Amino acid sequence: MDQLSLFGIEPQEPQTNEAQDRIRELCDFLNHHSYLYYVLDKPEIEDHEYDKAFRELSDLATQYPHLMPQDSPLARVGGQVLSGFTKVNHEVPMQSLEDLFSQEEVETWVNDLTSKYGKDIVFSVEHKIDGLSASALYENGMLVRGATRGNGLVGEDVTENMRTIGSLPLSIKGAPELLEVRGEVYISKADFAELNRQADENGQQPFANPRNAAAGSLRQLDSRIAAKRHLNIFIFNIQRSSEDTGLVGHTQGFEYLRSLGFNVVKNYKRCVGATEVWEAICQIGTDRPNLPYDIDGAVIKVDDLSLRQVIGGTSHAPKWAAAYKYPPEQQPTVVTDITIQVGRTGVLTPTAELEPVRLAGSTVARATLHNADYIRDKDIRIGDTVWVQKAGDIIPEIVKVDLTKRPVDSVPYEFPTVCPVCGSQAVRENNEVAWRCTSPTCPAQLVRSIIHYVQRDAMNIDGLGDALAETLVNKGIISNVADLYKLAERRGDVESLDKMGAKSTDNLIEAIEKSKEAGLDKLLYGLGIRHVGKHTARMIAKTYPSLEQLMAATQQDLAVVEDVGEVIAESVIRFFSEPRNVELVQSLAASGVKVTYDSGLQSNKFAGMNIVVTGKLQHFGRDEIKAVIESHGGKSSDSVSKKTTYVLAGENSGSKETKARTLGIPVISEEQFMEMLES
């Protein structure tokens, strides 16, 4: 059924107006509920209702891309990859603030201003968000540009990434013809913790703090990555406007910005005199551990906008504002042990077990040590007295070791070279910080390995989703991917599982049986060998078309295979040197899984050709067109270079077509490609 029929519109050209009306309705609905969720923190609908409307809009975008408005929520998911950021000259300089570090400095700063300009000066004291300063420019109510602060005079155009921020409106009603605002882009404590958890699990270097995470995310060249980082923004200033807003005070500006739909800091206080200012700073410091976002200080500003003009400033900072910086809370404790957890991807993550200590409002008994390099660089040992703090006020971390209290019998910590869960070899590959378990049968990563094995691009076992895979493992029905081919013998156990039954079980067993014919390339990819992706698996299988031949190959043999190289070759050899892995593939072969490769070569029409596909095609999906090219002897590449023979350009082909024409590489249409295929 065509998706338009979901809301009563027949998929015919005369119905374009109805489609456009429905798109506008969905955009308004989704933008309104995004505002309630991200800005007001008062959601009125369940997530599934939002998701249902979002999917409907996505379907319409596929059918009617030319009807999508600029403020479509689809812009928030990202999708553009840039080669670099263009420079932006700030019409209004984005200045920094003078820092204050003590009560005495705060009182001196406030008293100097009140002595010069009057004792009744009103100050605003507000949160200093620990993030990255950025501006957002709106023309005729539409977001047209987002830019980083840079050096205050020149920043970078990060519009695509700022569009992914759920709390930043893509359009505003009742705004001046031109409006530019300034805010602080940040990542919440909870999202920061999850980001670093994923980094540890994937063997990546964790972010040092929420500010680094926000800055790195906002400056991602791939907006799809930025969209996954859950960036947020507080707007705190109007940089310029084409109309006189009539505002006389800074805090009055907060209410105006809020009325336009912006997310503004809620916990600000108007104060008179140094005593009230300091009390407000202390109150923010008390509230700090319980805030959902990280702050590194409090900002003090003169509230009167006209008085600010009189006070003025330097070329770098205004004299009417300053920032008080809170010192991080640190406490000493003792490392009682260092334990190792194994993540779903096999990464070994060390954790310091601590004598419990009260820190930033909670009791801390563990601290992540991230990786072996982290332990070595800080020389952390069992029995050491260490100072701990909370990164982002949420993640306990060891700041330093108190060497004066180190036990005399202390020895450096030796990172394990075997998996603590299954006993298999643990390895550290070149240029990586992580140690990994090499066995896909390791219980710690079993569910993940099964999910990867059954996916469409691997063995394509339809009906075996994430939840069922986890249930099969937890119930003890399977202990490795080879056990999938024994499920027919345990039909009763499978049928009794929640949401299964006889029909679903039959379909599952049929899909498993069908997967046996997938071939060696699919099997190699499905086994989850480190660094071996779909394309690499195919290149290896083409060169060594049987498992027996592959296992007899040396590292030097594999390294010269096209698109393989030393790193991947070493990973493959290491995989097949592990007895558990050899036992696994032998069990798969014994179950009837095909361990040979059939190239499916239909002709040599494209032999020696390197074809890059870009844009949307009418008759082929992306994976399908690559398979067609390769089945006729050609090679399908993702990037344009001097080695490219043709660029096959569909709709919205973008920069790849431009680069091809610059290099003088022939660009062909889908129709021309099909003519070549049929000739």
pLDDT tens column, 596-640: 987 666 778 888 888 888 888 887 777 778 878 888 888 887 778
Instruction: Tell me what pLDDT residue 438 has.
Output: 80
Class of 438-599 in CATH: mainly alpha
Instruction: Tell me what pLDDT residue 10 has.
Output: 40
Using a 10 angstrom Cβ sphere, with 0-12 exposed, 13-18 middle and 19 or more buried, the burial of residue 231 is buried
Using a 10 angstrom Cβ sphere, with 0-12 exposed, 13-18 middle and 19 or more buried, the burial of residue 174 is exposed
Cβ–Cβ under 8 Å, residues 401 and 332: no
DSSP label at residue 499? T
Distance (Å, whole) CA 266 – CA 126: 8
DSSP label at residue 290? G
Mapped onto helix, strand or coil, the DSSP state of residue 27 is helix
Q: Which among 285, 304, 422 has a CA at the least distance from the CA of 360?
A: 285
Cβ–Cβ under 8 Å, residues 169 and 136: no
Cβ–Cβ under 8 Å, residues 90 and 147: yes
Ramachandran assignment for 261, one of left (phi > 0), alpha (psi -120 to 50 degrees), beta (any other): left
**Domain range annotation of the chain:** 3-77, 98-325, 331-405, 438-599, 610-678
Q: Which helix (H) or strand (E) holds 474?
A: helix 466-474
Topology of domain 98-325, CATH: D-amino Acid Aminotransferase; Chain A, domain 1 (3.30.470)
CATH 3.40.50.10190 is right for the domain spanning 610-678:
yes
CATH match for 331-405 among 3.30.300.10, 2.40.50.140, 3.20.20.70, 2.30.30.90: 2.40.50.140
Distance (Å, whole) CA 36 – CA 178: 25
Cβ–Cβ under 8 Å, residues 271 and 123: yes
| Intervals of the chain under pLDDT 50 | 1-14
- Concatenated DSSP letters of 388-422: EEEETTTEEEEEEE-GGG--TT--PPPPPSB-TTT
Token pair of 625 as six digits: 């067109």
Residues labelled catalytic: 128
For 38, 236, 460, the CA distances from 175, given in Å and listed in that order, are: 20, 16, 52
Mapped onto helix, strand or coil, the DSSP state of residue 553 is coil
Q: What is the CATH number of domain 3-77?
A: 1.10.287.610
Instruction: Tell me what pLDDT residue 82 has.
Output: 59
Q: Which helix (H) or strand (E) holds 386?
A: strand 385-391
Instruction: Tell me what pLDDT residue 600 has.
Output: 67
Distance (Å, whole) CA 379 – CA 138: 51
Bridge partners for 477 per DSSP: none
For 17, 363, 383, 521, 620, the CA distances from 623, given in Å and listed in that order, are: 34, 51, 55, 15, 8
Strand order in the sheet with 362-368: 362-368, 348-359, 331-342, 385-391, 395-401
Bridge partners for 301 per DSSP: 124, 321
Distance (Å, whole) CA 7 – CA 2: 10
Mapped onto helix, strand or coil, the DSSP state of residue 531 is coil
